[in-house]
């Protein structure tokens, strides 16, 4: 393999490196180096307790290697010693909050970032009047709900009761709630009203009802991860995000559904459905936050993303969502899937709502070692003319099933140009993005190894999803995992070069079923792998009346810039003000 520095010195070297890696990983990650992980997996199949030369010979085929009989003879003793080390390792209990000592850092050497903390700014208050029927505010953004509560026009307790009734009414249709936290919500709402009446206003989230994806720990209620093996489990601590939103005065309404172990929209209680079309699912593991927020059952919600689980439900449900830079928001108390890709973030009805929630949850907590201490300087009046805005031309030009979605994309570009922006055509780097699956699946298998070895995988609702991946990932050698991580740095360097040319990239979200190396398929797997932030927001509706969306990708830790641009686009349109009409 070329050295990373050499691979980036010339365009010819880059092309040669790309071709090499495309060939190298074309076989869905087949190994080029034999490691005991492959042998361990084979031993489980054969139900034996020690490695033999015959087992090594069989494992060679899985690893794409061939040793001589003499070489196998030499290997036997060391590999059996490794078995003893494995057993010692498994006797040490590991919790979901125990991360590897090696932490992913999306920033490359030599990068610098703004470290000055400036005052947080909000848009001018709309000063809307309280309606006669309180349920009319169910779809209002947090910015407007906050004004009602702070001014005393509406009590948090009344708002909370209204949302609780809607949760009870529409959850049987949407299946978006795993646990209703009604008692807690009523206590928190009463406390918020008392504090606000006494002049102790904590900020724009004070008294606002919210819901959390049930990957996040809450010490008073079940934390199920959407999976039957954990459906009755109660943890004895709160996730950092839960603590921070409580400190902001927000009112926790419900533990919202997640696809089991953060995969898809199916959990042990069924499939979470799209409020715009209850005949289809929400597509993505932040299913409950997507459905509940879009249906006006909570004021905002918290989701998580590893490879699209904020963007995809926001797309299906027509929400504004922020997937922050990796290392911006604490993962403490959040079920891990990929130690180097998991990112919690807000799912809301407006872009500015995302900024308000992000401001409450970001930053170091002394528990998650991957967190950075950098400011978030939200300014809704940021001069967007200062931003260099690119757009992925090939993705906007690529044919897709929905002609209306393509028309919506072109209209989005036209709106941005009408705001005075000179859009720059750009292209995402051309690298084999399915390499990321090696990293994701190996890390997921490690995070849930106890479940695999316990024999409880068959309790999951989708036996062909995580169970198959966890078992297969036992055959990914450690060397191949590390090689894939080295390739990841090539991709990070190319993205860094691209983000030196522009400040924001506008691109359609990856289309369902589209190959990850096609123009339409690159966006989400690529930017999740490099750790870049992304805002997703509605930009119209398709032929069948369901929402379409567009994404704004930004520089590392530049959430304020992409949110500001997204808000200007949202102010020029009204798609975020539309909401589904539910019938039960």
Helix (H, G, I), strand (E, B) or coil at 444: helix
CA distance 460 to 387: 47
300-305 and 209-213 beta bridge pairing: parallel
The DSSP H or E segment spanning 344 is strand 343-348
- Which tens digits make up the pLDDT trace of 459-471? 999 877 899 999 9
- Which tens digits make up the pLDDT trace of 65-97? 899 999 999 999 998 998 888 888 889 999 999
CA distance 454 to 194: 49
> Residue 130 gets which letter from DSSP?
P
pLDDT of res. 44: 56
N-terminal to C-terminal alpha carbon distance within the chain? 60
Domains of the chain: 1-28 (no CATH), 134-430+490-577 (3.90.1300.10)
CA distance 92 to 291: 39
pLDDT of res. 83: 87
Report whether 327 contacts 549 (CB < 8 A): no
DSSP 47-109: T-SS--HHHHHHHHHHHT----HHHHHHHHHHHHHHHHHHHHHHTS---TT---SS----SPT
Sign of CA dihedral 71, 75, 77, 80: negative
- Number of other CB atoms surrounding residue 260 within 10 Å: 26
Q: In which band, very low, low, confident or very high, does the pLDDT at 31 lie, cut at 50, 70 and 90?
A: very low
* Contacts of residue 554, Cβ cutoff 8 Å, sequence gap at least 6: 503, 504, 505, 532, 533, 534, 535, 561, 562
The fraction of the chain above a pLDDT of 90, given in percent, is 77
**Mean pLDDT, residues 483-496:** 95
pLDDT of res. 64: 80
The fraction of the chain above a pLDDT of 70, given in percent, is 91
**Mean pLDDT, residues 239-247:** 98
Report whether 522 contacts 456 (CB < 8 A): no
* Contacts of residue 577, Cβ cutoff 8 Å, sequence gap at least 6: none
């Amino acid at each position: 393999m070329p050295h990373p520095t050499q691979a980036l010195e010339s365009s010819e070297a880059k092309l040669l490196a790309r071709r090499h890696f495309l060939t190298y990983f074309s076989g869905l990650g087949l190994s080029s180096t034999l490691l005991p992980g492959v042998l361990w997996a084979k031993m489980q199949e054969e139900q034996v307790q020690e490695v033999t030369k015959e087992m090594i010979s069989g494992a060679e085929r899985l690893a794409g290697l061939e040793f001589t009989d003499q070489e196998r003879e030499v290997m036997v003793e060391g590999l059996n010693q490794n078995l003893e080390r494995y057993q010692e390792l498994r006797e040490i209990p590991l919790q979901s909050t125990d991360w590897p000592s090696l932490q992913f850092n999306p920033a490359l050497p030599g990068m610098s970032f703004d470290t000055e903390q400036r005052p947080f700014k909000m848009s001018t208050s709309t000063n809307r009047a309280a309606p006669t029927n309180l349920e009319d505010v169910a779809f209002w953004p947090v910015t407007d709900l906050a004004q009602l509560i702070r001014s005393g026009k509406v009590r948090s307790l009344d708002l909370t009761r209204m949302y609780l009734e809607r949760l009870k009414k529409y959850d049987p249709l949407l299946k978006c709630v795993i646990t209703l936290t009604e008692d807690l919500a009523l206590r928190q709402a009463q406390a918020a009203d008392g504090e606000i009446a006494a002049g102790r206003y904590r900020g724009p989230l004070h008294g606002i009802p919210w819901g959390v994806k049930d990957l996040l720990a809450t010490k008073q209620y079940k934390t199920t991860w959407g999976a039957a093996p954990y459906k009755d489990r109660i943890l004895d601590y709160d996730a950092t995000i839960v603590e921070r939103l409580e400190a902001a005065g927000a009112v926790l309404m419900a533990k919202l559904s997640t696809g089991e172990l953060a995969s898809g929209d199916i959990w042990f209680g069924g499939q979470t459905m799209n409020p715009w079309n209850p005949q289809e699912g929400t597509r993505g593991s932040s299913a409950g936050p997507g459905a509940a927020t879009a249906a006006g059952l909570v004021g905002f919600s918290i989701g998580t993303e590893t490879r699209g689980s904020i963007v995809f439900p926001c797309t299906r449900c027509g929400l504004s969502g922020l997937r922050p830079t990796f290392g911006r928001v604490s993962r403490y108390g959040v079920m891990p899937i990929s130690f180097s890709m998991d990112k919690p973030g807000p799912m809301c009805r407006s872009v500015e709502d995302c900024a308000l929630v992000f401001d409450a949850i970001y930053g170091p907590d002394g528990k998650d070692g991957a967190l950075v201490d950098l400011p978030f300087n939200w300014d809704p009046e940021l001069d967007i003319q200062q931003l260099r805005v690119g757009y992925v031309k090939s993705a906007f030009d690529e044919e897709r099933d929905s002609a209306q979605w393509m028309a919506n994309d072109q209209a989005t570009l036209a709106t941005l140009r009408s705001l005075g922006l000179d859009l720059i055509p750009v292209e995402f780097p051309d690298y084999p993005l399915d390499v990321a699956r090696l990293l994701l699946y190996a890390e997921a298998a490690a995070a849930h190894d106890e479940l695999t070895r316990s024999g409880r995988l068959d309790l999951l609702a989708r036996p062909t999803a995580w169970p198959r991946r966890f078992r297969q990932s036992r055959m990914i050698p450690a060397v191949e995992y590390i090689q894939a991580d080295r390739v990841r740095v090539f991709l990070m360097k190319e993205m860094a070069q691209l983000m030196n040319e522009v400040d924001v990239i506008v691109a359609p979200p990856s289309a369902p079923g589209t190959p990850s190396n096609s123009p339409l398929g690159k966006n989400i797997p690529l930017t999740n792998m490099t750790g870049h932030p992304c805002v997703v927001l509605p930009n119209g509706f398709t032929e069948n009346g369901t929402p379409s969306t567009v994404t704004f990708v930004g520089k590392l830790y530049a959430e304020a810039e992409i949110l500001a641009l997204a808000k200007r686009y949202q102010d020029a349109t009204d798609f975020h003000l539309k909401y589904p009409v539910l019938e039960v």
